[in-house]
Amino acid sequence: MDYLGVLEVLGQEAFGVLAGASTSELVVYARNFDTSIGDLFLIPSDRGGERIYLFRMTQYANVLRREDDMDPMAKNLVAMDDPFYADDFERDKLLRLTGTLLGYSEYTQEQWVFRSPRKLPDHLSRVFKVGFGDEATIAAQEAVLAELLHAQLRGGIRVGSLLAGEMALQGVQVGIPGEYFAHHIGVFGRTGTGKSNNLMVMIEAIFQNNLHLLHTPQEEWERDDRIVSLFAIDPHDEFARWKPETNGGIAHIIEVMSPQDRAALVGDFFYLSCRPQENLDTDAVLNGRGRQCYLHRRDITPADLISIMEFTDIMSASAEAISDEHGEDWISAILNGQVEPDDRVIHRASLGAINRRLGFLAGTRSRLVPRATAYDSCLADIIIALERGRVLDVDTTMMTEIEQFLLTTIVARTIFALRKALKSSSTMEQLLGNEDTDGEIDRHLPLQESLKAQLRERLAAPDSPYRTGEQLKQITELPAVNIIVEEAPSILNPVRIKFGSVFRDISRQGRKFGIGLTVVSQQVSEIDNGILSQLNTEISMALGNEEERRAAVQTASNDIQPFRRELQVMSVGQAILSASYKNVPLPIQIREFF
Amino acid sequence: MDFDFLSRDFVHTATDAIDAFRQAIEEVEPPEEDLEALCEGITTFQHSPRIEEDFVVAGVDGSGEFPILQQDDVFMHFTVSAGSVFETCTRRQHKMTARTLPGLMYTGLINLSDHGEGLIQGYHCFLQDLIHCGLKELRDGSDYCEVFSAEGPKTIRPADVTWENAAFSRASQVGTHAYLIRSLAELGMGVRALASQPKYLLLDTSLVYFLLGESIYLPELLKRYLICKANAQGTGVLGLCKSHNIPNGDLLGRRAKEQYGAAHHWFIRLPSEALGEKRPTFLLDREVPPKLGVSYLFKFHEMSFPMRLDVDAQWWREHLAGDPENEKRLFEELDYTCHDVRSYGYPYPLQSAHRQASLTRQERKAVKDILLQHAQREGILRGAFMRSQEEIHQAGV
């Protein structure tokens, strides 16, 4: 649709007229129709090129055409004896809208290109409100908007509809490209804003993205298309079933797939829980796709613990020294009293402190890391599943908070290390090593010998996710692995993100290796600035206080300052999507998952 | 003005002028017995935030630029008149709601010249455009000939009502034509507003007939046409005069307050010759009450001045005579329309019509500019003489 085609769709009935335009603010006078903050307007203007400007209203006021000031009238209505205001001034009732220019689409070389707001529409341009008119008109407006903003909206993972005021434009879907799940995403919002629903919608969209790509020849994929794996921490155990009155969550999504698609996208399991396996096997909803989630002490390295709990430098050094001496059994050595303190690195006090930190693993206290002599862990299954492009729903209701953090950390660190090892290797042998030579896997995954033994077997197998025939895959051929970090401030705060935290490295280098974090938090300000600066996509929902809103504005990849007030009043499911790869922040309505 | 306001001579002159002014006022001070007789007729009524029965009320007003264009002895006048029709709605928050009807805004350009039939032709076209009527229709649709003959020294037959017999001043006497055109525009709009079947039609003018019985005067002919048409459908034409033209009328107000405790919401009906009553001596040489009319002096709110209301005597006989309650209801209903905050104490339908008809300076200029552009395109303007010296100074030639 060209410029004149757009004008035809918009029609003759303008909503208002541009009164003032500056680079910081637009002023529009409009007719007295129902409107709301956040409404979107299209302003055609052909000064300098055929452009459609996109204006978002952030404030409006009732004004009268003739009277400059309604104050005296209002005062008189209060003060005089039985006064009234005759209803005869419909034509004089106007709205004064102010807001910002989000940008403009220019028709060049037979396509619309959206650009940042460096230009202004012409004087007294007519202004058209998106979502104003009958159903057919609105549908046509949505089609126009979708075309004008195509490059900004595109993305395989559809997270919501563009929000114009209070109206979700169903015909204008906003997506995040799969590639950007290998970067880092922030999901911010106070309690009750719909963060869980947002994640559920995102999970379904990831399934749809993966399914679409599965059935699309790779040469037809769009730029930034990528299969996405998700390690979804589920603190309320809701993603699998979702709410009782709904069709169901992931279990339902999977159930309606064809057996072939299910085999390709889900495999043996999608649900991880600390519940006993027999319990999971008899859960009708899971239909045999639940897997007991447990790790072994040998999966844990000092870096994992340093990343999630308070460790002084001396304690860290002691832990490292103990793991050097006892290898992957370093935790058992400490808990079993097999470590002797010395005066050099392993001070008695430090050892005692480490012992106390490890208390949650002692005896039968931990469901996640049960006491077991022989190596038995589902970590390798998790890693391989993620490398195959799976969505894993991790029920953490039966884990303590520290166990939840520990699991997230170990999975993130392990897959990060494996990807680094893969990138350093050109052959499978170089990656895995042989009887005589260590492989890159040994260099990047110190300790964890038991895990590596399992991984070597799985990665060398003919159906290895790292193998295309005899060739090792490139990182870019592997799925984008995204790991959800729930209650992010607990492990991504400035104190914890110090030298030695696995998340510090992942946040900085993860995208090179196709690993991204989804940082979920009620507070932005409590998260380490280094982590925040690495976010490429932010989904900002209503936030609780001024400090958080300020932090969200500072963190956003686009300028969302004009949305700042709305961060206070947005309804459930409404959010501002900002991304470094989009020219404009987009208000979205995340649909209620049903 | 280059003038010394503080000069002793000027101060003395001002003092003398004020003395003369005071004497002129005191000369026509009503005699005590007249005042007393009038004030005995004071009727008070309640402040009226509610009315018993909703009704339709219309108001008309006009304005214009007279002339807006001039070349030699040819004058083009621009007139605007507007009608506002409201329906009261006692139970709603806004109390009166506007009725949107076609034809309640009129704009006309009237060309008048002293050459040949230029003047008559101008008015003929104007009347046709305004109300689609000629003199014949106005004459036949009114009691003009009858009342003309009854009120004045002259008598006329219907056949005498012709353009040639109508009183017109020369086109170059623009002040007279300004009044004439504006009056016709307002009365014509009143005729249009009757289509909404209002209970009351409010005019921002008196119902006087200065030339009735003496000369055929177009505004008076149209006024009778309007009133007869209104009477026929039961509409009361109410002429409201902010300036009551009653000598020392404020004395009546003061007396009403001091002796009768009526500070506001009162009315007095002035004795009317049209009802066979004797006109008070201090009003003998005035058109108050006007011929064929009944006048009231009234006050709605403490903060407002007394105003005058003229109604047609025939309508008065049919609707108010012998029924004090109806008379009171008229003022209560009128009071009800005066509570809009934009014109508190004054009927809002009139204020609304005024707002619609009034021209701002910019609007006058815009109309003028449009006409000038066309005139220049037609080559009928010579030079920049249509612009004021100040404009030429500001904008250049």
Q: What is the DSSP string of A263-321?
A: HHHTTT--EEESS-HHHHHT-TTTTT-EEE----GGG--HHHHHHHS---HHHHHHHHH
CATH code of the domain occupying A179-288+377-580: 3.40.50.300
Q: Does the pLDDT of residue B236 top 80, yes or no? A: yes
The verdict on a CB contact (< 8 Å) between B47 and A84 is no
A80 → chain B, closest CA residue: B341
Most confident of A152-166, A487-501, B160-174, B178-192: B178-192
Residues 6+ positions from A353 with CB-CB distance below 8 Å: A312, A315
Burial of residue B48 (CB within 10 Å: 0-12, 13-18, 19+) is buried
Residue B94 touches partner A, C-beta closer than 8 Å = yes
* CA angle, residues A567, A571, A574, in degrees to nearest 5: 70
A499 and chain B in contact, CB less than 8 A: no
CA distance B317 to chain A (A): 32
Q: Is B157 on the interface with A (CB under 8 A)?
A: no
- Over residues A390-402, mean pLDDT: 90
- Domain residue spans in chain B? 43-363
pLDDT at residue B22, rounded to an integer: 85
| pLDDT 10s digits, B336-357 | 999 998 888 899 999 999 989 9
- Among candidate residues A487, A478, A538, the one with its CA nearest the CA of residue A512: A478
A468/A303 Cα distance (integer angstroms): 33
Query: CA A52, CA A49: separation in Å to the nearest integer?
Result: 10
- CA of A13 to nearest chain B CA: how many angstroms apart? 21
Query: What is the per-residue pLDDT across A147-178, written as a single tens digit (0 to 9) for each?
Result: 999 888 888 899 999 999 888 998 899 999 99
Residue whose structure tokens are 């914890």: A496
- To test the contact with chain B by mutation, choose from A70, A77, A87, A90 the residue with the greatest count of B C-beta atoms within 10 A, namely A87
C-beta atoms of B94 and A84 within 8 A: yes
Q: Does B355 sit within 8 Å of A82, measured CB to CB?
A: no
Tokens linked to A147: 């075309």
| A54 CB neighbour count, 10 Å cutoff | 23
Tokens of B279: 């006109």
For residues A525 and A548, the answer to whether their CB atoms sit within 8 Å is: yes
User: Nearest C-alpha of chain B: how many angstroms from A525?
Assistant: 49
- Strand residues in A33-125 grouped as ranges (E): 40-45, 51-64, 93-108, 111-115
Q: Per-residue DSSP letters for A342-405?
A: -SSSS-HHHHHHHHHHGGGGSTT--SSS---SS---SHHHHHHHHHTT-EEEEE-TTS-HHHHH
CB A532 within 8 A of CB A553: no
B84 contact A CB<8A? yes
Flag whether pLDDT at B25 surpasses 80: no
Per DSSP, the three-state class of B125 is helix
For helices B218-233 and B174-193, what crossing angle results, to 10°?
10
- Look up tokens 């029709």; give the residue: B85
Q: Is B303 in CB contact (< 8 Å) with chain A? A: no
CB-based contact A145:A172 (threshold 8 Å) = yes
Name the average pLDDT for chain B. Answer: 90
Where do the domains of chain A lie?
3-144, 179-288+377-580, 297-361
Cβ neighbors of A49 (< 8 A, separation 6 or more) are A106, A107, A108
**Cβ atoms of A516 and A181 closer than 8 Å:** yes
User: Which residues is A44 bridged to in the sheet?
Assistant: A52
pTM metric for this prediction: 0.71
Residue B49 and residue A80: Cβ atoms within 8 Å? no
Average pLDDT, chain A: 89
The Cα diameter of chain B in Å comes to: 69
Which segment, A467-471, A523-527, B306-310, is predicted with the most confidence on average?
A: B306-310
Q: How confident is the model at residue A575 (pLDDT cuts 50, 70, 90)?
A: very high
Q: Count CA atoms within 13 Å of residue A582 on its CB side.
A: 30
B47 → closest Cβ in A66, A81, A86 = A81
Which chain B residues are closer than 8 Å to A66 by Cβ?
355
- Contacts with B342 from chain A: Cβ below 8 Å: 73, 85
Query: How confident is the model at residue B397, as a pLDDT?
Result: 46
Distance CA B370, CA A382 (A): 81
**Chain A residues 376-395 with CB within 8 Å of chain B:** none
Q: Tell me, yes or no, if A461 comes closer than 8 A to chain B by beta carbon.
A: no
Cβ pair A86:B93 closer than 8 A: no
Tell me the shortest Cα–Cα distance from B245 to chain A, in angstroms. Answer: 29
Question: What value does the mean pLDDT take over residues A31-54?
Answer: 91
The answer to whether the CB atoms of A66 and B340 lie below 8 A apart is: no
Closest among A186, A160, A188, A163 to A175, alpha carbons compared: A160
A182-186, B298-302, B332-336 — which is least confidently predicted?
B298-302
A89 CA: distance to closest CA in chain B (Å): 8
Task: Give dist(CA A73, CA B341) in Å, integer.
Answer: 6
Structure-block tokens of residue A144: 């126009």
Express each pLDDT in A7-37 by its tens digit: 888 887 889 999 988 877 899 999 999 998 8
E strand map for A165-254: 167-176, 184-188, 228-234
Chain B residues within 8 A of A90 when measuring between CB atoms = 98
Query: Which residues of B fall within a CB distance of 8 Å from A83?
Result: 339-341, 344
Smallest Cβ–Cβ distance between A84 and the set B98, B340, B355 belongs to: B340
Chain B interface includes A68 (CB < 8 A): no
Binary contact (B341, A66; C-beta < 8 A):
no
Query: What is d(CA B316, CA A16) in angstroms, rounded to the nearest whole number?
Result: 50
Task: Give residue B386's pLDDT.
Answer: 56
Q: Look at residues A369, A379, A374, A391 and name the one whose alpha carbon lies nearest to residue A265.
A: A391
Rounded mean pLDDT, A538-549:
90
Q: With beta carbons less than 8 A apart as the criterion, state whether B204 and B358 touch.
A: no
Question: Judged by CB atoms within 8 Å, which residues 259-298 of B form the interface with A?
Answer: none
Phi/psi of residue B327, nearest 5 degrees:
-60, -45
Q: Residue B387's pLDDT is what?
A: 59
Find chain B residues with C-beta within 8 A of A89's C-beta.
98
Residue B285 CA from chain centroid, whole number: 20
Chain CA centroid to CA A415, Å: 19
ipTM over 0.90: no
B310 contact partners, CB below 8 Å, separation of at least 6: B206, B207, B208, B238, B239, B241, B289, B290, B293, B294, B295
- Write down the pLDDT at residue B219: 96
A69 touches chain B (CB under 8 A): no
Verify whether the Cβ–Cβ distance A73 to B95 is below 8 Å: no
DSSP string, B30-58: PPHHHHHHHHTT-EE----S--SS--EEE
Task: State whether residue A81 sits within 8 Å of chain B by CB.
Answer: yes
Closest partner CB to A84 (pick from B301, B339, B352): B339
Contacts of B173 (CB under 8 A, 6+ apart): none
